[in-house]
Amino acid sequence: MSGIGDIIAVAQLGYKFAEALKGYIDEVGTAEESIKALVVEVEQASHRVKELSELIDGDTNTGFLTPVGLDGCHNLASEFKKTILSLKSVLVKTSDAPEDTGTAAFEFIDLSQWQKFRWPFIRKALAVPRARLGELKIELQLLMVTASAHKLSKMPPTREVEKQREDARAKLKRLSQNASCASSGGFAGRQFVNVSVY
């Protein structure tokens, strides 16, 4: 299906950025805990975006996603890319970095940004894209749990399947509440799918 390669490339961008931050942490030995946490957040979101490409690829057989859902998946990947580039623009020497958005190597990270006296300003500049990254993680998780619940709804009812369905319903409820709290726009996960998962 078209667009899968683009989504995989977006996931790779996130992984490369996380690797660049890890390189910084390895180089300086001590790093702000919030940077270490940012590495984890970027890696987790990148993994979810990669799963998104697998979901779209598998949809050719299941028809699980609606046309709106497919567009939504591509929009989520696009938003993730924008967010990573926003984070990168704060931390990377823009005059030296190549135009290629996939390049976020450690050598281009502006180490002067990490000096103690500058860190409060950098933290503030990172706040908005980092908050958006958190929202996207919730939205991506919600879509993946919805997909899992849909798959379970097609399986013969056994005790184990029923338990997994209950778990999926609980996760969907929790993630839906988190998405409502995290974003005024919210994430209407069910508009992405062709059937109810309940």
Nearest to 41 by CA among 110, 109, 107, 87: 87
Find the angle CA(29)-CA(33)-CA(38) to the nearest 5 degrees: 105
Where on the phi/psi map is residue 79: left (φ > 0), alpha (ψ -120 to 50), or beta?
alpha
- In the predicted structure, residue 120 carries a pLDDT above the cut 70: yes
Identity at 49, one-letter amino acid code? V
| pLDDT, tens digit (0-9, with 9 covering 90-100), for 58-103 | 766 666 676 667 788 888 889 999 998 888 888 776 555 554 544 4
The answer to whether the predicted template modeling score (pTM) of the entire model surpasses 0.95 is: no
Q: Is residue 66 within 8 Å of residue 190, measured between CB atoms? A: no
- Dump pLDDT digits (tens) for 124-156: 888 899 899 888 888 888 887 777 777 777 778
The ranges assigned to domains in the chain are 4-192
48-to-31, 51, 80, 133 alpha-carbon distances in Å: 26, 5, 10, 12
